[in-house]
Amino acid sequence: MNITKIKIFLTIIAVIVLVSFKPKKDYPFPFLDPDLSIETRVNDLVGRMMLDEKISQMMNDAPAIERLHIPQYNWWNECLHGVARAGLATVFPQAIGLGATWDENMMLKVSTAISDEARAKHHEFVRKGERSIYEGLTFWSPNINIFRDPRWGRGQETYGEDPYLTGRLAVEFIKGLQGDDPKYFKTIATVKHFAVHSGPESSRHTFDAKIDEKDFRETYLPQFEMGIKEGKAYSVMCAYNRLNGEACCGSNHLLTEILRNEWNFKGYVVSDCGAIDDIYERHKIVETPAEAAALAVKSGCDLECLSTYKHLKEAVANKLITEAEIDVALKRLFTARFKLGMFDPPEMVKYTKIPYSVVDNKEHHQLALEAAHKSIVLLKNENNLLPLNKNIKTVAVIGPNADEATMLLGNYNGTPSDPITPLRGIREKLIHSKILYAQGCELAEGLSSIKKDSIEKIKQKAIQVAKESDVVIMFMGLSPNLEGEEMNVAIDGFKGGDRTKLDLPSNQEALIKEIKSLGKPVVLVLLNGSALSINWENKNIPAIIETWYPGQAAGTAIADVLFGDYNPAGRLPVTFYSSVNDLPSFDEYNMTTQTYRYFKGNVIYPFGYGLSYTNFHYDNLKINHQNKAGSEVKFSVDVKNIGKVSGDEVVQVYVSNKTSTGHIPIRALKAFKRIYIKAGETKTVNLSIKPDAFSIINDDNKRVIVPGKFEVTVGGGQPDVKIRTASNVLKTETIIM
């Protein structure tokens, strides 16, 4: 090669090097450099902070630290069934309704839509300079406590009474919230309330849940373990109450030994709001706020909702805690913020590109309708009264829940742009029919200030429109104004947000009986967040539908079911007991007769129950296993739609331990799948049962897989119950493991 060619070659190389070389940006602090590892960045940031600054970042409303370029951040946000308390958002069915879908794929789609809207809303707030409560990316959802007692007002926030169903749905909800990016979280999901928390609301700041280790690990922990190990939830909220004497937010056993050491949890723990105050003010475990703050942080509670942690400086001065221990919690919190991309250029985080137009868009409206469809449970359909004929001339729509949007939304909800009440849904469905409406009664006596003569006029109008109609559709039930979180309600049947009875309010029952006595066909549609003891109604009303708090698309979904445009296939995630007398004391947390897993009496409707406009037949059950303790059991079953209407079936698999004795469940759900089957079609469904389905908690309080005889039942509901679901055959096989 001659000298000229060498010079040309070197010039080309130099140009390439100059073009490709990008000088490193001069960041004011190393922690702002996105090319460094998150651990390095967090360590650099925390190392630059003063003690007062550190403490300020450990409460939900964390102020800006301008000298370090740290913006204000409020950790408190909610998205139980849609982005909540932050204005416009798509509102999906309340959590208990999502539980009734028994649909993992649906749950993932719903939570993905929620996190899309969450990201879009957050960045819109930031563009406007708003960084307040309900505007961040750390969400205090889902609530995966076990709905062990239908009296609990917050049970509507859960996915029901079963640990397995709750856990499986929670895993998908968490995945949809947190996204699938290997580097950044879309949002952060918080599983709550860890760990044993389900009422009473009136004493939630003082009660001590006394339970044995067996029930603790068989009923109250499995869904949390699934949410953390499988769902990878990055945040946990500790509960208000004590557990066997220890405050949940000051429990080293819960927050360190189980959560971090057993389950390898890497995220952060946040207290419920005011729970650190409870440690010294109500539980009386320590005497001062400084002691309570130190105990909580040392136990593993990294972030406080509210402000007792401001006493941490005093705690350091009094040698109750060290600054190094505070740093551990602080690093977990900033790791979360870095993982959300809050300190990186927006173009590096794919979720910043989600446009604000995704909020309340048409696709999400359709998804809200689909979720509402799937949440509706057909409880009774005597003589196939449903679906109703669309050519019906006159319909009476009666009830306090017929035209009230509040009853659609439950609690922890957003604001829908166009909520559709049941009355509106029916009117839009039957454009050529005459629709007569009457409220009929109050939700409950004493809830409002309507005068007695006005109440009588309301009732008489309902009777009149019923007389003029070909069919009566009654919209009854409860309301988030009656059941919910720590409420100031004290009327017959309700106290403090909880219920003292399981019946419908007496004035509603009276109206139903009076309307039924007119001899008209009556359909009862329930809107509520918890099980109802509708004994008289079940015996006397020919068609009953449970719709929960069904979200913004409620009216359309209900009308579609009533008039045959959608075949209902929701299944109960809770047991409908005959009476409150069937239950132990509300504050009894040991599992005695609570839930289908332990209750041996007769019920109105069992867990897993739901009818359809068609019927399904199960056949050709094939179980393939290794006959060895600790092995997974795989099986297939043929499910045929033997009716004339296409629709969904929910295949349910229950396992009963026929060898072990003592305190074990009668049966337990261990697999399920919701599938669509056309009329006359047969589908082969493949499922598997994990090894822990064949385990017990032994006398040493350890989970062990034991050899023995197990009954595996596959069908559309539980075995050995008097009330059958939409399947007329259940396949059972006994296997030896």
Convert the pLDDT of each residue in 580-604 to its tens digit.
999 999 999 999 999 999 999 999 9
In terms of C-beta density within 10 A (0-12 exposed, 13-18 middle, 19 or more buried), how is residue 345 classed?
exposed
User: From the CA atom positions of the chain, what is the Rg in Å?
Assistant: 28
Give the residue ranges of DSSP H helices in 300-417. Answer: 312-317, 323-339, 362-375, 406-409
- Tokens of residue 411, six digits: 């609690």
Give the span between the Cα atoms of 73 and 135, in whole angstroms.
Answer: 9
pLDDT at 18 (0 to 100): 38
Compute the C-alpha angle 661/662/668, nearest 5°.
80
pLDDT at 728 (0 to 100): 72
pLDDT at 5 (0 to 100): 55
Convert the pLDDT of each residue in 606-661 to its tens digit.
999 999 999 999 999 998 866 666 778 999 999 999 999 999 999 999 999 999 88
Active-site residue, from 272, 278, 403, 546: 272
Q: Which residues contact 302 (CB under 8 A, 6 or more apart)?
A: 58, 268, 269, 270, 329, 330, 332, 333
Q: Is 399 left (phi over 0), alpha (psi -120 to 50) or beta?
A: left
Average pLDDT over residues 15-41: 76
pLDDT bracket for residue 22 (50, 70, 90): very low
Average pLDDT over residues 11-35: 66
Active-site residue, from 483, 498, 546, 649: 483
61-62/73-74 β-pairing: antiparallel
Say whether 327 is catalytic.
no
Q: What is the mean pLDDT of the chain?
A: 94
Whole-model pTM: value is 0.95
Say whether 453 is catalytic.
no
Give the span between the Cα atoms of 158 and 169, in whole angstroms.
Answer: 10
Give the span between the Cα atoms of 690 and 669, in whole angstroms.
Answer: 11
pLDDT at 24 (0 to 100): 58
Inter-residue contact 639 to 683 (CB < 8 Å): yes
Inter-residue contact 233 to 264 (CB < 8 Å): no
H or E, element range at 539: helix 535-540
Q: Which residues contact 395 (CB under 8 A, 6 or more apart)?
A: 426, 430, 433, 434, 435, 436, 469, 470, 471, 472, 473
pLDDT at 730 (0 to 100): 80
Hunting for tokens 């090894």 — which residue is that?
Answer: 691
Question: Is pLDDT above 90 for 705?
Answer: no
What percent of the chain has pLDDT above 70? Answer: 96
pLDDT at 722 (0 to 100): 82
Among residues 86, 84, 209, the alpha carbon closest in space to that of 152 is found at 209
Among residues 208, 261, 277, 272, the alpha carbon closest in space to that of 235 is found at 272
Average pLDDT over residues 3-32: 60
Domains, the chain, in order of start with CATH, read 31-70+188-339 (3.20.20.300), 370-582 (3.40.50.1700), 616-736 (2.60.40.10)
pLDDT bracket for residue 708 (50, 70, 90): confident
Convert the pLDDT of each residue in 467-515 to its tens digit.
999 999 999 999 999 999 999 999 999 999 999 999 999 999 999 999 9
Inter-residue contact 360 to 90 (CB < 8 Å): yes
Inter-residue contact 79 to 177 (CB < 8 Å): yes
In terms of C-beta density within 10 A (0-12 exposed, 13-18 middle, 19 or more buried), how is residue 390 classed?
middle
pLDDT at 2 (0 to 100): 58
494-495/498-499 β-pairing: antiparallel
Question: Is pLDDT above 50 for 19?
Answer: no
